[in-house]
Amino acid sequence: MHREMSEERIEKQLKKIVRFVVGAGILLVIGGFLFAVILSRMTNHALTEQMHAETEEYSRRLYDQIASDYQIMDTFASIIGNSGITEREDFPELLDQANYENDFITMAYMDTSGNLVAAVMEQETTQNHISEIQEEAREVLLEAVQGKRQISRVFRGELSDEEVVVYGTPVYQEDEVVGALAGSSRIDIFREILESDMVLSSYGYVDLIDMEGNYLARSGKDGISGDQTNVFIAPYFDAEMSEKAKEDLRESGCAEFSFRYNGKKYMGLIETVGIHDWCLFSVINTRMGSREIYMVDRAASLAGGAVLLLMLGLLSYGCRLVWKNGRRLQQIAYHDPLTGAYNMIRFRQLVDQRAKKDKRYSIAALNVHQFKFINEIYGREQGDRVLRFIKKQIEKSREDGELFCRETADIFYLYTPMTDRDELGRRLKKLMDDISRIAAGERGDYQLLMCCGAAVVEEDEESLTLDQTLTHVMLALTRAKDIHQNNIWFFDKELHRREIMENYVEAHMNQALKDREFCLYLQPKVSLDSRKVAGAEALVRWIKPDGGMIYPDQFIPLFESNGFCVQLDMYMVDSVCRQLRAWMDEGIRPIPISVNQSKRAFYEKDYLERLTEITEKYQIPASLITLEILEGYTFENVDEVNRKIEELQKQGFRVSLDDFGSEYSSLNTLGQIRINELKLDRWFLKDVAEGKKNVRVIMEQIIQLAHKLHISTVVEGVETLEDHEMIKDLRCDYGQGYYYRRPISAGDFFDSYLKNERILM
Ligand code: C2E
Ligand code: MG
Ligand code: MG
């Protein structure tokens, strides 16, 4: 279960969490952004609405003020018109009195002739003509005498020396205009309205301006220092903005705008009031003006930020948890709980990766000699301590690119990029010696001995699986275990191949014989005079059920040592006789065939009987069978060999001495032994070809001596035309070798050489 937890899985889990949190974070940010945009729009809309409403309210207040001023004026006008007090001499005093009792600065009465009586607060009453007064006041009075109520522009009154507006209203006497009344009022009465706290929730200000932006009444709340007289020259209005505002104002009587000033955002509105070119100019701080929305916005941003932080926190916590959990699982899954070293699962994974990179590397297995006794005698705990100690020592000695693990019990594997056997041998020997030495120092009552098996993997052994390499390492370790001292055994490929073959051969030989897997192959023996096939040598081939062929070199030596060659040789004699019989039955002229005979078979007590039994079984003349024996047999007891040879020859068999010259043969041997044929080993030709001196002379001597002894001669291993020419020159009788033909199956041999050799019967 958890043991299979891999790094990839942990990585996948982490990625999942990160993806989820990042996704959620992005959604949150997008959501937050949309929310902010909507809030901002809502804010702007609400603020604009609010400004319109407040400007309207403000206009209304201005109108109320004007209306109330007019009411006072109208009341006076009515009193003046209907009472006829204008005719009275004390009319100037009466007017002064009236002026004193209301808020006007100046009150003036003008008759239809333009004569004017003006009462100015705290000044003497003056009497002059309309033509003598300020234009703004004159216009109002002239309109009023025409029966029209009129309010003047804002101007600086000469009499009061203040910014004023003048109200003008007609004075009627029985429906007839008899004069006009004017009253000037300080512009401050409007400023007081502008300064009222109710305006724009106290987070903005309203000024009274004209269409060109000139201040008529300034609330003084704008916080803009300096004494500029025009809103459009204020620092927050750039030329483009003011042009646009003026244009909007001209076209629709209303201009909306927004700007940033001192880091704060403002919205503004200019709207005409309906009196002259008066406009209300209102500005509001968006943040303060829409405090609730701003608070919601802030709260939402804070909440979003908090959620984002929380998510990031969760993400890091989750990742840490998964990572820690993964580490814990990895620790369990990939480590040996006793020593903390990697276990075999992890070792295999890592070796797979490293080996691909290194290409050439070695694996060694370290083992404690007689570890089970340590466990039994000193107790399991001590055994565990020893294992932990070994792990520590391996770890200490570890070099770059090396890996190690504990497999089971007392087996530690070490992977190393070192491939030089001597170098690796020294390195491992030192490790083992160190372990023994330190252990002896720590605990002197037993000696800790190690053994080590190692296998070197070369670059051309890519096909080798890790399992195979580990098997090789274990095979080497098995060998190393036999020697009771710190020692290293390297796996030997060739040796191992042979071992495998031997195992196979031994395990399968009996069944193979029964299943007729040993097949008869024939190699022609060629007469050097006529170049005709004068005979053949029977050579066994083991053909496995899967079609694979095993050559005699791979099993004959083993059969010689385990005695199976006796059965095989008889089987081959049987096969040869059976084949000769088959051909003879088909009317083919038979050729003599040589059969190799092992020492064991040759010395069998009933050897001759068994051979005779076979030749009789197939009704084959023994003269067709040549028995090839090896010179090695003859040394021990030449007389006995000769006796045996004679018996065989008496029965009709021919005897040939095979591989002559390959071992300790001497011309002396040749003189003693009663053979019919001598086969010179193929090494003679090899030596001649390599230019070894005297070899040709030796061959010549051997052949001459053989002829003198009436022994026919065969040279083996004829591979080239030169070989053929040379042995012919040496007057040898027969040649055998790849130059003529390789060993071929009996069927092929028949097709090649015998098919046309039928005897006419
Ligand atoms: P051998 O009896 O000396 O057989 C000759 C070996 O030389 C054969 O190897 C043959 O294939 C090889 N040979 C022939 N011509 C050439 C050549 O031109 N160049 C080279 N390099 N080699 C050549 P093979 O068949 O592998 O047999 C090896 C040995 O195994 C034989 O040597 C023989 O001693 C033994 N053997 C073969 N069959 C039997 C058998 O049925 N019984 C016994 N006891 N031994 C056998
Ligand atoms: Mg032979
Ligand atoms: Mg031979």
Query: Do residues 486 and 543 both lie within one domain?
Result: no
Domain termination site, one of 468, 491, 514: 491
Token duo for residue 608: 């001759």
Strand partners, 626: 594, 654
Residue 334 lies in a domain: no
Query: Do residues 379 and 513 both lie within one domain?
Result: no
Pocket test for ligand 1, best of 555, 556, 686 (most atoms within 8 A of CB): 556
| Ligand 1 within 6 A of CB of 565 | yes
Query: Do residues 465 and 570 both lie within one domain?
Result: no
Query: Do residues 467 and 529 both lie within one domain?
Result: no
| Ligand 1 within 6 A of CB of 378 | no
Give nearest CA residue, ligand 1 atom 24. Answer: 552
Give nearest CA residue, ligand 1 atom 2. Answer: 596
- Give the CB-side neighbour count of residue 354, counting CA atoms within 13 A: 22
| Ligand 1 within 6 A of CB of 540 | yes
Nearest bound ligand to the CA of residue 656:
2
Which pLDDT belongs to residue 737? 97
Kindly give the number of the ligand 1 atom that is closest to the alpha carbon of 560.
44
End-to-end CA, the chain: 83
Kindly give the number of the ligand 1 atom that is closest to the alpha carbon of 540.
38
Q: Residue 586 is part of a domain; what is its CATH number? A: 3.20.20.450
- What DSSP assignment string belongs to 691-712? T-TTHHHHHHHHHHHHHHTT-E
Residue 661 lies in a domain: yes
Q: Within 443-492, where are the H helices?
A: 466-481
Domain termination site, one of 491, 525, 553: 491
Domain termination site, one of 159, 186, 213: 186
| Ligand 1 within 6 A of CB of 242 | no
CA distances (Å), origin 426, targets 413, 418, 486:
17, 11, 12
For residue 693, the CA-to-ligand 2 centroid distance in Å is 26
Give nearest CA residue, ligand 1 atom 27. Answer: 552
Contacts within 8 Å (CB) and 24+ apart, 710-714: 711/670, 711/675, 711/676, 711/677, 711/678, 712/676, 712/677, 712/678, 713/677, 713/678, 713/679, 713/680, 714/525, 714/656, 714/677, 714/678, 714/679, 714/680
Query: Do residues 689 and 585 both lie within one domain?
Result: yes
Residue 366 lies in a domain: yes
| Ligand 1 within 6 A of CB of 598 | yes
| Ligand 1 within 6 A of CB of 524 | no
Pocket test for ligand 1, best of 596, 683, 714, 724 (most atoms within 8 A of CB): 596
Consecutive 10-residue averages of pLDDT for the chain (761 residues): 54 75 77 75 77 82 83 84 81 83 86 87 83 87 87 83 88 87 85 70 77 80 67 78 86 86 82 85 75 68 79 78 76 86 92 90 91 82 88 92 90 94 93 86 73 91 86 89 86 84 92 97 96 96 96 93 95 98 94 95 94 97 96 75 95 95 77 93 93 90 95 97 96 97 97 79 44
Query: Do residues 452 and 534 both lie within one domain?
Result: no
| Ligand 1 within 6 A of CB of 631 | no
Which pLDDT belongs to residue 612? 97
CA distances (Å), origin 191, targets 58, 206, 207, 560:
11, 9, 8, 134
Name the DSSP letter for residue 589: P
Q: Residue 122 is part of a domain; what is its CATH number? A: 3.30.450.20
Residue 722 lies in a domain: yes
Residue 541 lies in a domain: yes
Strand partners, 518: 542
Residue 262 lies in a domain: no
For residue 658, the CA-to-ligand 1 centroid distance in Å is 10
For residue 565, the CA-to-ligand 3 centroid distance in Å is 17
| Ligand 1 within 6 A of CB of 573 | no
DSSP H or E segment with residue 388: helix 380-397
* Token pair 């993400």: residue: 315
Query: Do residues 551 and 643 both lie within one domain?
Result: yes
Sign of the C-alpha dihedral, residues 44, 49, 55, 57? negative
Query: Do residues 507 and 457 both lie within one domain?
Result: no
Residue 220 lies in a domain: no
| Ligand 1 within 6 A of CB of 572 | yes
Residue range of the domain that includes 646: 501-754
User: Per the confidence metrics, is the pTM higher than 0.75?
Assistant: no
For residue 676, the CA-to-ligand 3 centroid distance in Å is 15
Query: Do residues 473 and 542 both lie within one domain?
Result: no
Which pLDDT belongs to residue 45? 78
Give nearest CA residue, ligand 1 atom 23. Answer: 717
Residue-wise burial string across 192-231, b where 16 or more C-beta atoms lie within 10 A, e elsewhere: ebbbeeebbbebbbbbbbbeebbbbbbbebbebeeeeeeb
For residue 628, the CA-to-ligand 2 centroid distance in Å is 6
For residue 631, the CA-to-ligand 3 centroid distance in Å is 10
Q: C-alpha 271: how far from its chain's center?
A: 66
Query: Do residues 742 and 701 both lie within one domain?
Result: yes
Query: Do residues 625 and 521 both lie within one domain?
Result: yes
Which pLDDT belongs to residue 10? 66
| Ligand 1 within 6 A of CB of 569 | yes
Q: Give me the number of domains the chain comprises.
A: 3
Q: Residue 468 is part of a domain; what is its CATH number? A: 3.30.70.270
Nearby residues of 266 by Cβ (< 8 Å), 6 or more positions away: 204, 236, 258, 259, 260, 283, 284, 285, 286
Query: Do residues 434 and 556 both lie within one domain?
Result: no
Nearest bound ligand to the CA of residue 539:
1
Nearby residues of 256 by Cβ (< 8 Å), 6 or more positions away: 48, 248, 267, 268, 269
* Token pair 């290194």: residue: 358
For residue 537, the CA-to-ligand 1 centroid distance in Å is 9
Q: C-alpha 622: how far from its chain's center?
A: 78
How far apart (Å, rounded) are the C-alpha atoms in residues 252 and 236? 23
Give residues whose Cβ lies within 5 Å of ion ligand 2. 596, 628, 658
DSSP H or E segment with residue 69: helix 7-83
For residue 658, the CA-to-ligand 2 centroid distance in Å is 5
| Ligand 1 within 6 A of CB of 318 | no
Residue 15 lies in a domain: no
Token duo for residue 418: 């070192």
DSSP H or E segment with residue 627: strand 625-630
Kindly give the number of the ligand 1 atom that is closest to the alpha carbon of 743.
11
